[in-house]
Chain A
């Protein structure tokens, strides 16, 4: 009897095949993977290499490539500088209002990109009082008509203030809104939020034990961080850097609002795609987007080469 029962049980178990389970899962996965491959293939085969080289020869597109590479590099460095201390403090310390700070740090990730651009635009147009001594110093450096200009208004925007300060320091007024710094700032606001999240996870994974040992061996907090924790966080740093760079390269919404889409001035690669499409030059748009596709793949390969985990990237 017992043997019969065992046989019945085993035959009942055998009848349940794993095939439907895997068939459904594999089918869904395949459709999505094929969609990605098809999407990229369609773009790469849409136009001829001649058209692409012709698009590259255009000075506007060359400028956009140059500005994209430079602004993304600066954004990455800035993001790492900011994300390391924030990530460390958020990972290691509990303090009053931490939940609120945590939520604030996630705002750039969840906020629609266009809204970030609009917020930045408004922020730099906020009126602040005129600073007399600054106006006088700038006026003495510049022509009479500009000093009259300063005197006419009682208030000034933050952007104007920055122009005056930079004029005084560098001898040339450098504004933010609709200028190159706005491109970097718009990229930074979003890219840094991702870098902060990555660095926080990195420090969480390293755990506090290493620096505790370092403290007992004679380190102060700074020494424990720079000598022990920071070198161990290099994978996280690379991940945060690559992520920030990739986010910055694809940033479009905030740049369009905050920097405008002025050719040979604030035009980055996503702006090129947009501008070329609006004038009906699809080859130009494809050429610019291909550069971004190749860059994204390059970043992905680098990230995998350094063994960065899928969870991070």
Chain B
């Protein structure tokens, strides 16, 4: 679960005030907004990469406002993939596991599992040079998921991909989220992408974050027979937080 309450962040001259929203466990939230609206800043703040001026961030019910990025257990997929070029694809995938001192056998098993899930088995022993945009994002996603984080943060992961690859990646992201149950926050400015993936939708506009109705979510709720939980922070009047 991601719970952000009255968050204030300042990056240079840019400032975001009183941002509140909540993504319950296992949901796929999409945060939309124009370029420069501050959506990446919000995502990076949740990941612990930007300093919080005021407000709180709770991750899995624990206060994590000022926790170090490593302590947050968040899988982060940046816009351009940002693979480590001096390592092979296999080393990229096993990076987080080596830091956690997993045994070599367990690392190998996990890497194989991820490679099969993401369809990158044939790429494991090569370096990231010359990989296509889609392959790069698959590996970046695998690297983020390797240590089995409870939260996945995606920063416009599909923006640099062509239409066909984008479609494939949407299906993959949807499948991965369904299989792993990871709580996901996905940033995009693409409406079709958000319609296809998000079971919760947020829009940031003019420094105000509001939630939007989501068709996918209604559909999923119908299928599972579950009622979607209401989210948000009632204390914040400037922010619409209830999801239809």
Binding site for B on A (CB under 8 A): 209-210, 212-220, 223, 227-228, 231-232, 234
CA distance A214 to B76 in the complex (A): 9
A213 to B85, CA, bound (A): 13
Contact status B70-A219, CB under 8 Å: yes
A-B contact pairs, 29 of them (CB 8 A): A209-B78, A209-B80, A210-B82, A212-B47, A212-B49, A212-B69, A212-B76, A213-B76, A213-B84, A214-B95, A215-B49, A215-B70, A216-B49, A216-B70, A216-B72, A216-B75, A217-B70, A217-B76, A217-B95, A217-B96, A217-B99, A217-B146, A218-B99, A219-B70, A220-B68, A227-B95, A232-B85, A232-B86, A234-B86
Tally of contacts, chain A with chain B, CB under 8 A? 59
> Considering only CB atoms, which chain B residue lies closest to A206 in the complex?
B85
Q: Which residues of B contact A (CB under 8 A)?
A: 44, 47-49, 68-70, 72, 74-76, 78, 80, 82, 84-86, 95-96, 99-100, 143-144, 146-147
Nearest chain A residue, comparing its CB with the CB of B71: A218
Which chain A residues border B80 with CB–CB below 8 Å? 209
Collect the chain A residues with CB atoms within 8 Å of residue B144's CB: 216-217
**From A216, A220, A223, A231, contact of B86 by CB (8 A):** A231
Question: Which chain B residue lies CB-closest to A94?
Answer: B12
A219 to B75, CA, bound (A): 13
- Evaluate contact between A209 and B82: CB separation under 8 angstroms: yes
Nearest B residue to A207 via CB reads B82
In the bound complex, do residue B100 and residue A218 qualify as a contact, i.e. CB atoms below 8 Å apart? yes
Most buried by A among B49, B70, B100: B70
A218 to B71, CA, bound (A): 7
Nearest Cβ distance between residue A87 and chain B, in whole angstroms?
Answer: 18
Contact (Cβ within 8 A) A218 B48? no
Nearest chain-B residue to A218 (Cβ)?
A: B99
Contact of A213 among B72, B78, B99, B146 (CB under 8 A): B78
B86 touches A212 (CB 8 A): no
The list of the 7 closest CB pairs from A to B, nearest first, reads A215-B69, A216-B76, A231-B86, A218-B99, A217-B96, A218-B70, A216-B69
Q: In the complex, are the beta carbons of A217 and B78 less than 8 A apart?
A: no
A290 to B4, CA, bound (A): 68
B99 contact from A209, A223, A231, A232, Cβ within 8 A: A223
- Which residues in B have their C-beta under 8 angstroms from that of A220? 68, 70
Contacts of B147 in A (CB 8 A): 217-218
Query: Once the chains are docked, how many angstroms separate the CA of A194 from the CA of B5?
Result: 48
Do B96 and A218 touch (CB < 8 A)? yes
Docked complex Cα distance between A214 and B84 (Å): 9
